[in-house]
């Protein structure tokens, strides 16, 4: 990405998430409580500090944006109200609004079905993984 584009994308991420990364005191509680921690390359506290540093390209390319469960544990437990999950959601939204960036497509679904899988899982996954 061009430097200008990076700066504008950081602004967009901050605007649509409503998150102010400067509020973070780097206590690590968000990552400590994250149920997807082990599966993530970048962890919630790193999302916050990397957005603050303008270092968003690795985040946009990382599978970590699809590992967040949106359980909001980090949002509720942050002592500073930083709300890391909203930042991760914004990065995922920005990524998937780019051409050809859908992480899951309706055609992928039939192979993932089993007898008991609730419709809720399918609609939720498509909302999270597709634009």
Partner 1 sequence: MKVSYFPGCTLKTKAKQLDDYARSCAEVLGIKMEEIPNWQCCGGVFNTSSDEIATKLSAVRALSYAEKQGQPLISVCSACHNVLKQTNHAMQTDAVFASRVNHYITQPGQAAAQAYMGNTQVYHYLELLRDIIGFDRIRDAVKKPLTGKKIGAYYGCLMLRPSSTMKMDDAENPRIMEDFIRAIGAEPVIYAMRNECCGGYVTMEDPALSQKKSTAILRNAEANGADFLITACPLCKYNLDKNGNIPVVYFTELLARALGIVEA
Residues making contact with partner 1 (CB under 8 A): 15-18, 35-36, 38-39, 66-67, 69-73, 75-76, 83, 85-86, 89-90, 93, 104, 112, 116-125, 127-129
Residue 60: burial class (beta carbons within 10 Å; 0-12, 13-18, 19+) = middle
Choice between 3 and 118, CB closer to partner 1: 118
Q: Considering the complex, what minimum distance in angstroms separates the CB of residue 46 from partner 1?
A: 19
CA–CA separation, 60 and 72 (whole Å): 20
Choice between 6 and 16, CB closer to partner 1: 16
Q: Considering the complex, what minimum distance in angstroms separates the CB of residue 123 from partner 1?
A: 4
CA dihedral in degrees (101, 52, 81, 63; nearest 10)? Answer: 30
Q: Considering the complex, what minimum distance in angstroms separates the CB of residue 129 from partner 1?
A: 7
Dihedral sign, Cα of residue 62, residue 67, residue 69, residue 74: negative
């Amino acid at each position: 990405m061009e430097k200008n584009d990076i700066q504008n994308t950081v602004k967009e991420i901050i605007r649509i998430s409503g998150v102010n990364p400067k509020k973070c005191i780097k206590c690590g509680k968000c990552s400590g409580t994250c149920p997807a921690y082990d599966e993530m390359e970048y962890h919630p506290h790193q999302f916050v500090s990397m957005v603050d540093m303008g270092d968003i390209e690795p985040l946009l390319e990382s599978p970590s944006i699809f590992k967040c469960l949106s359980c909001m544990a980090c949002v509720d437990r942050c002592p500073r109200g930083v709300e890391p999950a909203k930042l991760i959601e914004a990065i995922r939204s920005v990524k998937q609004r780019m051409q050809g960036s859908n992480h899951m497509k309706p055609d992928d679904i039939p192979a993932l079905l089993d007898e008991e899988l609730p419709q809720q899982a399918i609609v939720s996954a498509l909302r999270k993984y597709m634009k």
